[in-house]
Amino acid sequence: MKNLHLTKQHWLTLLGGLLTLCLALGAGLWYERQTFVTRGLVELPQAMPHGGVEFGLNVALEQYDAETLTETLEQLDNLRVHHLKQTFYLPAYNEFDWSESERLITAVAKHPALELTVLLNGDPAENFAPPSPEQFAAWAGEFAQRYGDHIDHYIIWDEPNLSTQWGNEAVNPAAYGALLTAAAQTIRAADPSAVIIAAPLAPTTERGPQNLADALYLQRLYEAGVQDAFDVVASKPYGFDTSAADLRTDIDTLNFRRSILLREVLLQNGEAHKAVWAGNWGWNSLPADWSGQPSVWGQTDAQTQIEQTIEALFQARQEWPWMGVMFLEGWEADAPADDARHGFDLAHRPDSLQTLTEALNLFQTTTAAYPGFHPAEPDSVAQTYQGGWEFSPDYGADMSEVPEGQPPDQVTFTFWGTHVGLQVRRANFRA
């Protein structure tokens, strides 16, 4: 047997190889960690209609009489909530009660600061069995014809990726796509400026046939070729049992970051310009002595609930320029007393309402531009212009010709973040 004899050169080569291997492993781990932490962030945000985080609230105004409805809307107005989301249901066999929709929409219209987004849904009494696309589209079109002066945003159906929201049948993305397409056509014909939002998809990890994970369902809609029917997609990023600081982003994980999965489906299908809205989100908090139905949305205490809500709202604005209106669940559920949805109710929690009001005041009075694409606007609180600037929606801001010896036009802007970029337009005499 020969003894292995390593020279100094051999040792240096071996050590160099080990060092290279360690560096490669370290770089790989660092990259994996960075990808994990920064998933969902955008390096160079583009112009995105309907993007930019705004606070909204789910309401069920149909449960209130005239006096209570007036009081509720005044309270919401004072809370500085701008966006409200209200559901209307199409009866399977009976005529729709236009007097009720007239009552609710007229009441909201008396508050100019409140903007109503409507969700047009099927019949709960029929387990949301889908009507024919023609029947649903006729109703949706008439809705837009009647209320287009007051309504800009239309959501078509709710949670079609769950069997319980699709007539207890196996979910069918292609069939929902046909319904969505038909409704979008009639709504746009009646209200050309309408914004069509695809159904908020329920967070689920199932792969079918009864229920289908939200990201997989959205991909099936693209495969069905219905992308022109919607301007915005919608998620339901409930927090469940973890806070917004939970960075896991996986189809088998239910948490606040689940919206990222829908954003990635948009990117994969070449639709990075479309925003994601949060149709429902939040944390559930039931009383300690609760004896009703258990919560399927996780559970936390009231103080943690409101703290996590505020944390998530600010975090979304700082990290997700592709997120739009986030409709918190909710003001007051129209549900039996033993329904766990009441764990989301804000209406009768004065401490939570006070904390939320203070947070919204801070959220809405910011003087900084957060990540996103911000056009030049003379009235923006984050932009200050001095001189003879000229503005237009097509070309942004143009500097004026300043006489020699006079100070040039100036602009100052304030932003939150680490990087800033300017989109400039060359003069027409430049190549």
Tokens for 261?
């999965």
Residues 145 and 213 occupy one common structural domain: yes
Residues 285 and 418 occupy one common structural domain: no
Q: How far apart are the C-alpha atoms of 287 and 289, rounded to whole Å?
A: 5
Q: What is the pLDDT of residue 33?
A: 58
Residues 74 and 202 occupy one common structural domain: yes
Tokens for 218?
């959205």
Q: How far apart are the C-alpha atoms of 214 and 234, rounded to whole Å?
A: 10
Omega of the bond prior to 321 within 30 degrees of 0, cis? no
Question: How many domains does one find in the chain?
Answer: 2
Domain that holds residue 400: 374-431
Tokens for 311?
């944390």
| Cβ atoms of 224 and 173 closer than 8 Å | yes
Residues 378 and 359 occupy one common structural domain: no
pLDDT tens per residue across span 108-154: 999 999 999 999 999 999 999 999 999 999 999 999 999 999 999 99
Indicate whether 139 belongs to any domain: yes
Q: What is the pLDDT of residue 309?
A: 97
Helix axes 173-190, 214-223, angle to 10 degrees: 70
Q: CB count, 10 Å around CB of 355?
A: 16
Q: What is the pLDDT of residue 11?
A: 67
Task: Give the residue from 364, 384, 401 where a domain finishes.
Answer: 364
Indicate whether 34 belongs to any domain: no
Residues 325 and 406 occupy one common structural domain: no
Tokens 């005041």, located at residue:
361
Q: How far apart are the C-alpha atoms of 196 and 183, rounded to whole Å?
A: 9
Q: What is the pLDDT of residue 225?
A: 97
Work out whether strand 396-398 and strand 390-392 pair parallel, antiparallel, or are unpaired.
antiparallel
Residues 323 and 287 occupy one common structural domain: yes
Whichever domain contains 105, its CATH number is 3.20.20.80
Please give the single-letter amino acid code of residue 255.
Answer: N
Task: Give the residue from 316, 346, 364 where a domain finishes.
Answer: 364
Residue 264 Rama label (left phi>0; alpha psi -120 to 50; beta): alpha
Residues 80 and 161 occupy one common structural domain: yes
Indicate whether 172 belongs to any domain: yes
Tokens 């079609």, located at residue:
160
Q: How far apart are the C-alpha atoms of 267 and 302, rounded to whole Å?
A: 37
Omega of the bond prior to 52 within 30 degrees of 0, cis? no
Indicate whether 17 belongs to any domain: no
Residues 315 and 400 occupy one common structural domain: no
Q: What is the pLDDT of residue 416?
A: 81
Indicate whether 296 belongs to any domain: yes
Cα pseudo-dihedral 121, 126, 127, 129, rounded to 10: -60
Indicate whether 29 belongs to any domain: no
Q: How far apart are the C-alpha atoms of 72 and 64, rounded to whole Å?
A: 9
Residues 283 and 402 occupy one common structural domain: no
Q: What is the pLDDT of residue 431?
A: 43
3 state SS for the chain: CCCCCCCHHHHHHHHHHHHHHHHHHHHHHHHHHHHHHHCCCCCCCCCCCCCCCEEEEECCHHHCCHHHHHHHHHHHHHCCCCEEEEEEECCCCCCCCHHHHHHHHHHHHCCCCCEEEEEEECCHHHCCCCCCHHHHHHHHHHHHHHHCCCCCEEEECCCCCCHHHCCCCCCCHHHHHHHHHHHHHHHHHHCCCCEEEECCCCCCCCECCCCECHHHHHHHHHHCCCHHHCCEEEECCECCCCCCCCCCCCCCCCCHHHHHHHHHHHHHCCCCCCEEEEEEEECCCCCCCCCCCCCCCCCCCHHHHHHHHHHHHHHHHHHCCCEEEEEECCCCCCCCCCCHHHHHCCCCCHHHHHHHHHHHHHHHCCCCECCCCCCCCCCCCCEEEECCCEEECCCEEECCCCCCCCCCCEEEECECCCCCCCCCCCCCCCC
Tens-binned pLDDT, residue by residue, of the chain (431 aa): 555 565 667 667 777 777 787 777 776 765 565 554 556 566 667 778 999 999 999 999 999 999 999 999 999 999 989 999 999 999 877 788 899 999 999 999 999 999 999 999 999 999 999 999 999 999 999 999 999 999 999 999 999 999 999 999 999 999 999 999 999 999 999 999 999 999 999 999 999 899 999 999 999 999 999 999 999 999 999 999 999 999 999 999 999 999 999 999 999 999 999 999 999 999 999 999 999 999 999 999 999 999 999 999 999 999 999 999 999 999 999 999 999 999 999 999 999 999 999 999 888 888 788 888 888 888 888 888 888 888 887 778 887 787 887 888 888 878 887 888 887 776 665 54
Model pTM? 0.88
Question: Cα angle at 372 between 409 and 253, to 5 degrees?
Answer: 170
Q: What is the pLDDT of residue 20?
A: 80
Task: Give the residue from 364, 384, 419 where a domain finishes.
Answer: 364
Q: How far apart are the C-alpha atoms of 256 and 365, rounded to whole Å?
A: 25
- Partners of 305 in beta bridges: none
Residues 71 and 209 occupy one common structural domain: yes
Tokens for 245?
């600081």
| Cβ atoms of 130 and 122 closer than 8 Å | yes
Residues 209 and 332 occupy one common structural domain: yes
Indicate whether 4 belongs to any domain: no
The closest of 340, 312, 317 to 328, measured between CA atoms, is: 312
Q: How far apart are the C-alpha atoms of 139 and 427, rounded to whole Å?
A: 51
Residues 315 and 394 occupy one common structural domain: no
Indicate whether 224 belongs to any domain: yes
The closest of 208, 262, 211, 254 to 233, measured between CA atoms, is: 262
